Structure 1
Amino acid sequence: MKLMIASDIHGSSYYCRKMTEAYRREKADRLLLLGDILYHGPRNDLPKDYQPKEVIAMLNAMKQELLCVRGNCDTEVDQMVLEFPILADYCLLELDGHTIFATHGHHHNPKNPPMLKQGDILLNGHTHIPANRNMGAYIYMNPGSVSIPKENSAHGYMIYDGVFLWKDLDGNVLDMPCTL
């Protein structure tokens, strides 16, 4: 399965559109969203083209292709307008014999990891900073942010197709490949 992983859209119709264009270009089977879909949050500036209603329309149109976990800015009110589930705190995926614990990152993260076994992957958003680190007992990965990247990182996402690749929204590979 080819999987695209993205996080932290924060209501930006501009970057959501670029993300969905990248998803189509990548021909991925599913898009895993790691939370913070509609609201920008009190600590963030408004992202470019902050238009949550447009984000709702774009994502609802592809609801069968989405997997999603809840971010710290996602609420029950958001679930009322989105036609796919967004309120799960985490999901578990099996890829090529490895368990991926996908969550937003405000609860489970490298400082407070869930119970993982050797070779498992902790996959978070939340920090808006891409990461690929071997933590000894597990691997920590973060796609960064679609709309509000931090620490001079790119507006980006990850692709899994046998290997993990970090890409900017134009599809350029960033220097962080990882094989399982």
Structure 2
Amino acid sequence: MRILILSDIHGNLDALKTILDSERYDAVWFLGDLTDYGPEPHMVLDTLRDLRPEVWVMGNHDYANAHGVDCGCGEKTHDLSVYTRENITQKLLTKEDLEFLKSIPLYREIRMDARDFYFVHGCPADPLYGYMFDFMPECMRNEIGGMIHTDILLFGHTHFPVRGIKENVEYFNPGSVGQPRDGDPRASYGIYDGEFHLRRIKYPVDRVVRKLENLVERRDYLERLKSILLKGKV
């Protein structure tokens, strides 16, 4: 089986569709954050629901929209998050969409290929807000402080792809589909076919920029959003 691994789409339908049209896959795992920053969160949600991911976990931005709370995201982009949430995401998602977001779990565990897989957006100790740019043993705890034992850990949230093995745990972050921030503006995603593979693909970013120009009235915010998309970094 060939599994497509996606995370942090952030309303960028063009990046998502480019991946889906170019890649061969039998199933999908989604690690959270389909909303905010981008122009088409409603269409990203519809596309994901049509895909019926076998694994889907809650992202901090999706939780913020579903429950009307702050995203708890990084200081450098927090104001962009609030602005796009209030002026794009909340205007385009229906009440039914928000109820659906509320139903998404904070984490998932499955067993496959004789191995245990743990899926989360941030990190096990802090599923929504914990940043893990590389493996951090202190993050391998549950909400009551107990140790989490798994063979494979999949996570997102940082917008930086990473793959490694430490303390007998194989870990993988596919990076961000719609908001890469590692200096490479191409959409980032992963493939699992018994092994993990990081992938990058160029998509029509100019099309996303034009859509934002029609939605974002604040020129300073628009220029920052465009810069992130075009440069792949904050």
TM value normalised by structure 2: 0.59
Map 1:72-111 to 2 at 5 A. Answer: 72-75=60-63, 76=66, 80-81=96-97, 87-105=104-122, 107-108=126-127, 109=132, 110-111=135-136
| Aligned residues with identical type, % of pairs | 29
Q: Across the two proteins, how many residue pairs are aligned to each other?
A: 157
Q: State the distance in 2 between where 1:167 and 1:150 align.
A: 15
Q: In structure 1, how many angstroms separate the alpha carbons of the residues matched to 2:29 and 2:179?
A: 18
Instruction: Give the number of the structure whose residues are more often strand, by fraction.
Output: 1
Structure 1 position 131 matched with structure 2 position 147: no
Whether 2:40 is the aligned partner of 1:37: answer: no
**Following the alignment from structure 2 to structure 1, what is the Cα–Cα distance between the partners of residues 114 and 16?**
31
Q: Deviations along 1:111-137, whole A, 9 cap, x unmatched? A: 4123343x7111100001111122223
Offset at 1:60? 2.9
Q: 1:10-159, aligned counterparts within 5 Å?
A: 10-22=10-22, 25-26=23-24, 28-40=25-37, 47=38, 50-63=39-52, 65-75=53-63, 76=66, 80-81=96-97, 87-105=104-122, 107-108=126-127, 109=132, 110-111=135-136, 112-114=139-141, 115-117=147-149, 120-153=151-184, 154-159=186-191
Aligned to 1:178: none
**Unaligned segments of structure 2, at least 5 residues:** 68-92, 142-146, 203-234
SS in 2 for 1:4: strand
Partners of 1:98 and 1:140 in 2: CA distance? 13
> Aligned-pair distance for 1:11?
0.8
Higher helix share: 2
Look up the SS of the partner of 2:198 in the other structure.
Answer: strand
What's the offset of the Cα at 1:66?
Answer: 4.6
Q: Which has the larger radius of gyration?
A: 2
Backbone CA RMSD of aligned residues = 2.5
1:84 to partner: Cα distance: 8.2
* Post-superposition offset of 1:19: 2.8
Flag structure 1 segments of 5+ consecutive residues without an equivalent.
41-46, 171-180
Q: Is the 8 A contact 1:92 1:101 kept in 2?
A: yes
